[in-house]
Structure 1
Amino acid sequence: MACLHDHSCEDHDCSSDFSLYKHIDLSKVSALNEAVQGSVKSVFKAWEQRLEISGGHLVSNEGDPELLVFIPFTSDVKIKSISVVGGADGTSPAKMRAFTNREGIDFSDAQNMQPVQEWDLVENLQGVLEYQTRYSRFQNVGNLTLHFSENFGADETQIYYIGLKGEATQLKRDVVATIVYEVTPNPSDHKTPTDASGGLSHVE
């Protein structure tokens, strides 16, 4: 689905809606088959900076257009849509597959596993398109893996921006709190044996 507002419109919701950028654990973002180690981190930036290219971009190794991008979050998120700005001359990714809450996926896994959702992409050089998720499938997402299996015919794939629209939850904090609660001994779970008269039994 296209974001129909002009990309230069500062007050349009696109700017604020693509708010998951600040919830990405950027230090742990990684990619397989990137030509420059660590360059994947440069594609995550604020919505209004999505067309800036001075900070670098993600490029696959020459002759192999496939890319696999791992995106962990600092808190669980709900993802409404994804925006991808690729390169020109056939280097933009043409297909995208998404996996949630899976760590350590490699290309073989990505090819053989059933994705949560997949999309046929179009060239989005101006960053005005967003791809809607099946929202009910993108709840409580602790990490997201995006598989770009092919591009539009070039020897390499280039990505300048990946934007995630949605909202953060507090579920990770709640889970931690629940675990702490559950490991705290509950007196009712450790009843002292009693004798037939109802008093405490004594071991001589």
Structure 2
Amino acid sequence: MACLHDHDCEDHDCSSDWSLYKHIDLPKVSALNEAVPGSVNSIFKAWEQRLDSSGGYLESNEGDPELLVFIPFTSDVKIKSISVVGGPDGTSPSKMRVFINRDGIDFSDAQGMQPVQEWDLVENFQGVLEYQTRYSRFQSVGNLTLHFPENFGAETTQIHYIGLRGEATQLKRDVVATIVYEITPNPSDHKTRAESGGAFSRVE
């Protein structure tokens, strides 16, 4: 099985490396400029199913190839590389720009902001090409925004699969351990020394 260029698949289970999709908060995934609302959810799947488009794919609106994909995670993750499978006939994205831990980015924001990293993409129909991240910058990632500003000349952009390789941490998003303190003390729990047989009287 063909896989990533930085290790030999004969001694390695490729699919296990692409397991971050299990940590994607799918109900909260979204895309701007998608032709079919909600179709972005279909492009996140197990690595071995990356070429199966029977469940649909993400496509931009006619005449506007730009796409913006927001990917939140259920726990903080570390991302080593990203794989993108695009469509045929010039519909594959040709550039990818990435933002980390930024909520609510729109196209105007994305165009005006400096990405954490960007890549010139090639047409990757088998999903065996990966784009290495600057790993030190992709630590403690709570959400990821992928900006695809252009494609290879078609009227629309198609994305059939996005794979994320890395590892999840134990830190869950939006789950904070809280300690409840007593706001109004119970007088029986706070007796003065006089009440306890001490030398001081109680102060009201």
Instruction: Kindly name which structure, 1 or 2, has the bigger radius of gyration based on alpha carbons.
Output: 2
1:106 equivalent to 2:110? Answer no
Instruction: Give the TM-score normalised by the residue count of structure 2.
Output: 0.83
**Cα distance, 1:83 vs structure 2:** 0.3
Q: Is the 8 A contact 2:30 2:69 kept in 1?
A: yes
**Structure 1 partner of 2:45:** 45
Distance 2:94 2:200 in 1: 73
* Unaligned runs of at least 5 residues, structure 1: 186-198
Secondary structure of 2:172's aligned partner:
helix
1:3 equivalent to 2:4? Answer yes
1:152 equivalent to 2:145? Answer no
Q: Is the 8 A contact 2:29 2:71 kept in 1?
A: yes
Closer, same or farther: CA 41–200 of 1 in aligned 2, 3 Å: farther
Distance 2:200 2:76 in 1: 48
**Structure 1 partner of 2:135:** 135
**Cα distance, 1:176 vs structure 2:** 1.3
**Cα distance, 1:10 vs structure 2:** 9.0
1:170 equivalent to 2:170? Answer yes
Q: Is the 8 A contact 2:76 2:173 kept in 1?
A: no
Residue identity opposite 1:108 in structure 2: S
Distance 2:31 2:161 in 1: 14
Distance 2:100 2:124 in 1: 24
Distance 1:89 1:12 in 2: 33
Give the RMSD, CA atoms, in angstroms.
2.6
Closer, same or farther: CA 71–174 of 1 in aligned 2, 3 Å: closer
Distance 2:165 2:27 in 1: 20
Distance 1:174 1:58 in 2: 28
Closer, same or farther: CA 161–174 of 1 in aligned 2, 3 Å: closer
Secondary structure of 1:71's aligned partner:
strand
Distance 2:30 2:10 in 1: 30
Residue identity opposite 2:134 in structure 1: R
**Cα distance, 1:203 vs structure 2:** 5.1
**Cα distance, 1:172 vs structure 2:** 3.0
Percent identity reads 82
Distance 2:126 2:15 in 1: 14
Secondary structure of 1:171's aligned partner:
strand
Residue identity opposite 2:98 in structure 1: A
Aligned pairs for 1:1-204 (under 5 A) are 3-4=4-5, 12-172=12-172, 176-177=176-177, 180-181=178-179, 184=181
Residue identity opposite 1:105 in structure 2: I
* Unaligned runs of at least 5 residues, structure 2: 183-198
Q: Is the 8 A contact 2:82 2:132 kept in 1?
A: yes
Secondary structure of 1:176's aligned partner:
coil
Secondary structure of 2:176's aligned partner:
helix
Distance 1:47 1:129 in 2: 12
- For each residue in 1:38-78, what CA deviation from the matched residue of structure 2 results, as whole angstroms up to 9, or x when unmatched? 00000000000000111100000010000000001111111
